Amino acid sequence: MRLKEDLENAAFDVFESRRPLLTHLNADTSWVLTLPYPPNVNPPLGRALFNILIDPWLQGPQTDYFSWFSKQWHVIPSSVQTIAELNACLRTRESLIRSRYASSDGPINAASSTLEHSESNCIDLVVISHEFTDHCNPKTLREISSSTPVLATKAAARLISSWRHFQHVHSMATFSNEKPAWKDTLIDGIPSWLRIARIISNKDAMSFHSAILITFDIVSSTEDAAIEGLVYTPHGINADHLKSLSLASPRIKILALLHGLHDIRISKRQLNLGAHNALRAQRISGSRYWVSTHDEVKKAGGLVNHFLRREIWTIEDVLKEEKRKKEKLDVGSPLADMRDVHFANLASGESLLLQ
């Protein structure tokens, strides 16, 4: 299994380097962000890593409103078909770390049998970016332990709460020019070294083109040091709205931008903003990595499919296009700097260590 191999191979890299690991669970927009615990934090017994599951949809169709209106299936199988399979992979990774680095008085060894139970849960937090079922999939989500905290957008949180499955469902705070203090987004049950908020536009009524800001302090920085983070925007966000990141207090160093390449429209309404917006967003955010997401060309049915238009871009094509336009850009434009982009297009089951 590709996912199992990648997670096992990366286990020691994550623990030794103390760097985040991003893992693509399918070819679309389901992810696991793995964070090593900060050195000044005692992890739960038997654990070394904190796992955030983002927008999980592993198998089966997803339907928006009615099947006759919009229905989709994965074309490329997910790297795991169930949450139980994912948990098994995560438990194996923890066991590998424990077997190599355990010390008689260390927190990793203190409960060597804790994760051996076949039902032990290694998913520490679920993050949901939209209420649509390709992001907020009821079948997949109901497989997750009910004790796992869920952090979701307001509409998604209302929907998830209505299922009465999870014990703790929270709505995300908003990060904006008016609310640039990410430390204000502390939520009970979520570690104090982790903050998650939503970046939205007041002009976007449904907040369709929004982003999730995940920030974390895993290096035990001083108070005035920059905190690391990533921006996850599966449909894209108007790049200019990321300018608020420069006002963040404490400062945020964006490691990765997750934004798709494909430009997708229904009639005149743009669904996914595509590669040109992503390139601008990467430069405004200053992210070290641009990781493509939500670009799977799925099997689709229903009325919406007849009106769906997809323009597929590659990273090479969009860079050529931007370079061709370079002389027309104003001096000082964020696009005028044609610095190299660290681009990653991860297949289902692949992982990327964020250096």
Residues 6 or more apart whose Cβ sits within 8 Å of residue 209: 201, 233, 235, 236, 237, 238, 273
pLDDT at 189: 81
H helix or E strand, kind and range, residue 85? helix 83-101
pLDDT at 105: 46
Residue 47 contacts residue 60 (beta carbons within 8 Å):
no
pLDDT at 110: 40
- CA atoms of 301 and 348, how far apart (whole Å): 23
Which stretches of the chain are assigned E, i.e. beta strand? 21-24, 31-36, 49-54, 62-63, 71-73, 125-128, 150-152, 169-171, 173-174, 194-199, 211-216, 227-232, 252-258, 263-266, 269-273, 289-291, 299-301, 308-311, 342-344, 351-353
Residue 150's SS3 state is strand
Q: In the block, which residue shows the tokens 């990141």?
A: 245
pTM of the model: 0.91
Write the CA distances from 34 to 13, 31, 53, 262, 351, integer angstroms.
12, 10, 9, 26, 10
Residue type at 20 in one-letter notation: P
pLDDT at 89: 95
For the stretch 57-71, pLDDT in tens is 999 988 877 677 778
pLDDT at 206: 66
pLDDT < 50 positions in the chain: 104-107, 109-117, 331, 334-336, 338
pLDDT at 114: 45
